[in-house]
Amino acid sequence: MKPKKNYKKVVIFVPLALVIAVIAVMAYSYLIVLNQQIRTEYRNVNIMLQRAGKILVALDYGFTSYYETSLTASADFNIEVVDGVCQLSPKESSILTQNLAHSSPPINISYMMVGDEKYCNVTSDVTELALRKVTLAPIISFLHDLDDYVIGVHYLDDHGFIISSPKEAIQGITQEQLNTIRLKTFWQEAAQNPDVISVIGPSAFSEVLMQRNNMTLAMPVFENKEFQGVVVLDVSVDKLIGDLSPVAGKLRLVRSESLPLDRSVYLPHKLNVSYTNMDHYLYYHWDWKNELSQFVSDMSMGITVVLLAYLVTVIGALHLGTRVEKNYYENLASHDPMTGVLNRRGMEEFLKGKEHNTYLSISVFDIDNFKSINDTYGHDIGDNVICYLGEQIEKSIRSTDAVARFGGEEFVIYLTGDDRDVLKKIMLRVKDAITEKSSSVVERGFTVSGGVEIIESAEGCDFDKLFKIADEKLYEAKTTGKNKLVF
């Protein structure tokens, strides 16, 4: 079979298409896993914000209903004025839980109250109010320690003092910052929305503390329907979102109006947190370069196997194709392209080293009146007659024999056997097989003539000599009536 001219393209591009399809499936699988990780993180963020909201509600309820009416002794605190700001902090960094066994472990607390310089006067009425509220400061510290994404818990009183945990969050606040707290967005939002938790930021009360990428949850405190102040949770957005490693991108948390409109936004998710007026979105920041790099890193083993399989397939197919192509052209050099039988070169190669039986014969067949057939029916029919002749000869001889076309309508047949008469009968049978159904190829059929030379193989196979003798016998058959074999 003749190899196709474009087989190399097929060998290269068909496996390549399969490789692309496999990598596309791998990419789809990568996206499925990525989507699952992102949605899981969305759920986690939502759960943590729900938890933060509940903490704030509980803290608000505590300041509204349950702070101690009795004074906390001022002697229990370190009280000092720093740059015009009164700072009040507990003398002990840890306390033992009341009403529990003495073996109970100490609970670390960290909080501070700051206010105007007047709060350092322990005999003033405002200091008495502050000391009553400070009774809830340990609770503020406990709540701060519950989750690492809660980086600050604060109570900001309408009288101008602040209770915060940890104490480092408020330790460096200035008098100017104290005076402008009521102007901050979180204070205004909380005061105007008493029934919900106001969510401000990222960055809100954190601006007071010179921090960034924090989100503030704020809720007003009322006592006997009178506004007392605001409880605030400072949430670190970075800690809230965490790290989606080993994925390439990062989650971003933004307010709805800040949601980008470009293609970097992947799987946007609007947060829905109870008790809040939250208007925020989570989204995965998509970067093609980073995602491609991450995909290759995650799927490196699979991609390597696919590419190696592709290379092995292509190299193997090209090698096989080259062999087929080589065999085809080698076959073409030794075979007649019209009939598919051997040509003269092929016959000579066939006879080299051939082991013969007792006898061998070389015969030359020729179509009678072939020129007339071409002239009468055309060259296409003439070609059909030649192909028919080669086909019938191949069908009529054994696999150990051979037939070759030497050009035009002349065919050469090689036979070998142990009986001279059997070889003659085979040649007569071949002739009869040709003429018997020749009318199927050309109207009224046609005949053939042939010359046959049979010798003992011991005499040696001199092909040129035998061919010349057989050809002379063919000439005799042609000139003495045709349609016969001369032995």
At 136-181, the pLDDT tens digits run 888 888 888 888 899 899 999 988 899 999 988 888 888 888 888 8
CATH number of 344-486: 3.30.70.270
Q: Report residue 85's pLDDT band, with 50, 70 and 90 as the boundaries.
A: very high
Q: What are the extents of the domains in the chain?
A: 67-242, 344-486
Using the predicted structure, report yes or no on whether residue 186 has a pLDDT greater than 60: yes
Neighbour-count burial for 322-332, b at 16+ CB within 10 Å, e otherwise: eeeeeeeeeee
Residues 385, 388, 390, 394, Cα dihedral to 10°: -160
Copy the structure tokens of residue 2.
């003749």
- Considering only CA atoms, give the Rg of the chain: 51
Quick: pLDDT tens for 261-281. Answer: 888 999 999 999 988 988 999
| 41 contacts 245 by C-beta, under 8 angstroms | no
Closest CA to 271 of 31, 36, 43: 43
The Cα 367–Cα 430 span in angstroms is 13
pLDDT of residue 68: 54
The Cα 176–Cα 40 span in angstroms is 43
The Cα 406–Cα 170 span in angstroms is 109
Q: Report residue 94's pLDDT band, with 50, 70 and 90 as the boundaries.
A: very low
Domain 67-242 classification at class level: alpha beta
Q: Lowest-confidence range among 1-10, 105-114, 423-432?
A: 1-10
Closest CA to 34 of 305, 213, 291, 274: 291
Copy the structure tokens of residue 398.
């054994």
Closest CA to 230 of 168, 181, 169, 180: 181
User: Residue type at 393?
Assistant: I
Q: Is the pTM here over 0.85, yes or no?
A: no
Q: In what order do the strands lie in the sheet with 251-255?
A: 251-255, 280-285, 265-270
pLDDT of residue 207: 43
Copy the structure tokens of residue 195.
């029934």
Counting Cα atoms < 13 Å in the Cβ hemisphere of 344 gives 8
Copy the structure tokens of residue 471.
């050809």
Quickly tell me which residue has 């490196």 as its tokens.
300
Average pLDDT, rounded, for the chain = 84
* Alpha helices (H) in 87-218, listed in sequence order: 125-134, 137-144, 175-179, 185-192, 205-208
pLDDT of residue 204: 39
Quickly tell me which residue has 């005999």 as its tokens.
123
pLDDT of residue 447: 93
Q: Report residue 2's pLDDT band, with 50, 70 and 90 as the boundaries.
A: low
The Cα 271–Cα 43 span in angstroms is 9
Beta strand 162-165 pairing with 198-200 = unpaired
pLDDT of residue 398: 87
- Provide the 3-class DSSP secondary structure of residue 472: helix
| 403 contacts 393 by C-beta, under 8 angstroms | yes
Cα separation values, 80 from 77, 117, 179, 180, Å:
10, 9, 19, 22
Using the predicted structure, report yes or no on whether residue 301 has a pLDDT greater than 50: yes
